[in-house]
């Protein structure tokens, strides 16, 4: 059976306008008059929490009640003017929060103001990081700026003129809660300075002026009007943004977030219900669902540009709930509102042909800073087993980083096993001259976490990487098993290598 042909953007817009005209003629007022109704919009119908292809009138309520508990006069009709309805509850949301170093800088990469501040619970000191959405131009002076969210760059008391860094550190020296916030004073990896914030019922946006003086080609740093890895198999057509237009229902969209990488989804509702996060209420925002079992966005993706299948930018991601897959919702500002409030135009490249969209890989010395890297390297190279282990890691480093940062199944296994936190703990311990092995936060063992990550690398890696894992997996896991320190692990590895040498 032939699959249903996807409607064009113009067809979707025409169909949406027809339903909105029906609502404007009195249907919306009648629906809003029903007790419990808090919002009326248009979008896609859901059945058992699965988004369907059926376009409908979406009616939002605070709480659904069993049909027999609703008086007939308060029941929402199943259709209005021949258009089906769908009753939905208003979901809560939160702001969404690759440590790779990218030069040239471009959309889809991780940025931060690097201010250390106390979290909402007042229990620890944290850094807020988010996504560099895309490059824009400030209309007042034609200066190039990076576009992201207000809540990303204002975190910890970020102000106009503060530096923006790429990448932020994976870990950092802890400071007493009483000393927070602590602002950075160095220029290492600074790429821009905060120029303007916009926080309103329509927009959670911010721009930072790119430091063109340090983004010159002679310094090896530049910026590009494109988004890292956006185009895949011709969808959308290019890594560059080809145009700008209004979001509409049932639209296929993409984003590249610093946490989730490239994601595909659909617009469930282009003018969704009010969303309150902390003290801010947002109205008429774009609600997006995932096209697979995993959420469209997660913490760290805030600020990502929302691009449709024709390569046109339609929104700026700023929030999400914590539900998986199609039951989850990501929320974006309309890009026209963002541009108007920030006084910018998006850097467009109309008529661009597809590009390879090559991604620069981060070197390990950028993972937590040169000091931590050098300490780890010196500790391992000073031991025969450590030197062997370092050489093994270097042999397969580029492929492993590529898989962990860009290949979705491996990235998910890495994060679900607690890989970033374990790596950060290990590097921090080595930097401080310690020996204690990192411990997973979920109560499992380091051996179990490494086994899970290794299985994902084996399933999706090259033949050479699979052969290396087959050859070394069991002795390496055995070395970690019941070990408390790095010295324990290296001692077991050396004993195993000596045994193998005597056998041969």
pLDDT confidence of residue 254: 96
Q: What is the pLDDT of residues 121-159, one digit of tens each?
A: 777 778 888 999 999 999 988 889 999 999 999 989 999
Enumerate residues 6+ apart whose C-beta is below 8 A from 483: 437, 489, 492
Identify the residue whose tokens are 């890297």.
373
Angle at which helices 370-381 and 384-406 pack, to 10 degrees?
140
- What are the C-alpha distances in Å from 398 to residues 281, 357, 364, 370, 454? 44, 17, 10, 18, 15
pLDDT confidence of residue 97: 41
pLDDT confidence of residue 171: 63
Which token pair is 139? 């209309």
For domain 93-352, say whether CATH 2.40.110.10 is its number: no
Q: Any idea which of 254-263, 318-327, 432-441 has the lowest mean pLDDT?
A: 318-327
Burial class (CB in 10 A: 0-12, 13-18, 19+), 76: middle
* Mean predicted confidence (pLDDT) in 265-286: 92
Enumerate residues 6+ apart whose C-beta is below 8 A from 22: 80, 81, 83
pLDDT higher than threshold 80 for residue 291 = no
pLDDT confidence of residue 217: 38
Identify the residue whose tokens are 């049932």.
250
* Mean predicted confidence (pLDDT) in 345-355: 69
Closest CA to 306 of 288, 326, 280: 288
pLDDT confidence of residue 173: 65
Element (H, E) at 478: helix 463-480
pLDDT higher than threshold 50 for residue 1 = no
pLDDT confidence of residue 29: 92
Q: How far apart are CA 488 and CA 435, in angstroms?
A: 9
Hey, which residues does 287 pair with through a beta bridge? 269, 331
pLDDT confidence of residue 396: 80
- The residue among 394 and 58 whose pLDDT is bigger is 58
Q: What is the pLDDT of residues 86-111, one digit of tens each?
A: 998 876 654 444 667 777 889 999 99
pLDDT confidence of residue 420: 77
pLDDT confidence of residue 351: 62
- Please, which pLDDT band fits residue 431 given cuts at 50, 70 and 90? low
Q: Do residues 272 and 41 touch, judged by C-beta distance below 8 A?
A: yes
Q: What is the pLDDT of residues 5-48, one digit of tens each?
A: 778 898 999 999 999 999 999 999 999 999 989 899 999 998 87
pLDDT higher than threshold 80 for residue 203 = yes
Which token pair is 103? 């030069």
**According to the 3-state scheme, what is the secondary structure of 10-78?**
HHHHHHHHHHHHHHHHHHHHHHHCCCCEEEEEEEEEEECCEEEEEEEEEEEECCCCCHHHCCHHHCCCC
pLDDT higher than threshold 80 for residue 170 = no
The residue ranges of every structural domain in the chain are 9-90, 93-352, 365-503
The runs of H, that is alpha helices, within 50-198 are: 150-153
How do beta strands 83-89 and 50-61 pair? Answer: parallel
| Residues in the chain, total | 504
Q: Do residues 167 and 100 touch, judged by C-beta distance below 8 A?
A: yes
The percent of residues above 90 in pLDDT, for the chain, comes to 39
Q: How far apart are CA 406 and CA 469, in angstroms?
A: 20
Q: Any idea which of 109-118, 233-242, 385-394 has the lowest mean pLDDT?
A: 385-394
Closest CA to 333 of 403, 283, 408, 402: 283
pLDDT confidence of residue 121: 78
- The residue among 465 and 355 whose pLDDT is bigger is 465
Quick check: pTM over 0.85? Answer: no
Q: Do residues 247 and 315 touch, judged by C-beta distance below 8 A?
A: yes
Which token pair is 460? 């999706």
Average pLDDT, the chain: 83
CA dihedral 86, 322, 412, 305 (to 10 degrees): 70
pLDDT higher than threshold 70 for residue 359 = no
pLDDT higher than threshold 50 for residue 358 = no
Give the best-scoring range by mean pLDDT among 48-57, 72-81, 207-216, 384-393. 72-81
pLDDT higher than threshold 90 for residue 330 = yes
pLDDT confidence of residue 92: 60
Q: Any idea which of 83-87, 183-187, 394-398 has the lowest mean pLDDT?
A: 394-398
Q: CB-side exposure of 91: number of CA atoms within 13 Å?
A: 19
DSSP per position, 206-251: EEEEE-GGGS-GGGT--EEEEETT--BTTBSS-SS--EE----TT-
pLDDT confidence of residue 111: 93
pLDDT higher than threshold 90 for residue 175 = no
Burial 419-442 (b: 16+ CB within 10 A, else e): bebbbbbbbbbbbeeeeebbbbee
Q: Any idea which of 224-228, 264-268, 311-315, 353-357 has the lowest mean pLDDT?
A: 353-357
pLDDT confidence of residue 234: 85
- Give CA angle at 213 (154, 159), nearest 5°: 15
């Amino acid at each position: 059976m032939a699959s249903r042909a996807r409607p064009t953007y113009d067809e979707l817009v025409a169909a949406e306008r027809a339903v909105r005209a029906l609502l404007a003629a009195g249907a919306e007022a009648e629906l809003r008059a029903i007790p419990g109704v808090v919002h009326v919009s248009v979008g896609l119908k859901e059945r058992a929490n699965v988004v369907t292809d059926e376009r409908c009138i979406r009616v939002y309520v605070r709480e659904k009640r069993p049909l027999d508990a609703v008086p007939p006069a308060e029941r929402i009709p199943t259709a209005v003017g021949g258009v089906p309805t769908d009753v939905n509850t208003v979901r809560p949301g939160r702001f969404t929060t690759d440590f790779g170093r990218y030069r040239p800088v471009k959309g889809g990469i991780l940025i931060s103001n690097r201010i250390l501040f106390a979290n909402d619970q007042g229990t620890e000191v944290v850094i807020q990081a988010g996504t560099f959405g895309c490059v824009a131009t400030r209309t007042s002076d034609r200066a190039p700026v990076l576009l992201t969210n207000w809540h990303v760059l204002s975190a910890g008391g970020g102000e106009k003129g503060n530096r923006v860094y790429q990448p932020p550190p994976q870990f950092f020296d802890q400071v007493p809660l009483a000393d927070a916030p602590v602002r950075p004073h160095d220029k290492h990896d600074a790429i821009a300075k905060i120029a303007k914030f916009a926080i309103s019922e329509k927009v959670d946006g911010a721009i930072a002026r790119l430091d063109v003086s340090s983004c010159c080609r002679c310094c090896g740093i530049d910026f590009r009007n494109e988004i890292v890895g956006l185009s895949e198999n011709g969808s959308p057509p290019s890594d560059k943004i080809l145009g700008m237009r209004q979001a509409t229902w049932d639209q296929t969209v993409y984003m590249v977030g610093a946490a989730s990488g490239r994601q595909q989804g659909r617009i469930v509702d282009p003018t969704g219900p009010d969303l309150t996060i902390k003290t801010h209420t947002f109205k008429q925002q774009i609600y997006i669902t995932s096209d697979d079992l995993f959420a469209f966005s997660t913490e760290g993706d805030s600020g990502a540009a929302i691009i449709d299948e024709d390569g046109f930018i339609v929104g700026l991601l700023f929030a999400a709930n914590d539900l998986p897959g199609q039951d989850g919702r990501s929320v974006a500002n309309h890009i026209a509102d963002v541009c108007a409030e920030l006084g910018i135009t998006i850097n467009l490249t109309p008529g661009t042909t597809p590009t390879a969209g090559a991604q620069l890989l981060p070197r390990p010395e950028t993972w937590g800073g040169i000091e931590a890297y050098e300490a780890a390297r010196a500790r391992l190279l000073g031991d025969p087993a450590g030197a062997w282990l370092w050489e093994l890691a270097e042999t397969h480093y580029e492929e492993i980083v590529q898989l962990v940062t860009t290949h979705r199944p491996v990235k998910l296994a890495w994060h679900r096993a607690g890989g970033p936190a374990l790596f950060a703990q290990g590097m921090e311990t080595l930097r401080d001259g310690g020996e204690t092995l990192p411990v997973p936060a979920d109560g499992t063992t380091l051996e179990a976490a490494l086994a899970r990550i290794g299985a994902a690398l084996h399933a999706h890696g090259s033949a050479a990487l699979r052969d290396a894992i087959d050859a070394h997996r069991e002795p390496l896991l055995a070395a970690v098993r019941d070990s408390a320190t790095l010295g324990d692990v290296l001692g077991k590895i050396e004993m195993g290598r000596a045994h193998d040498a005597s056998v041969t």
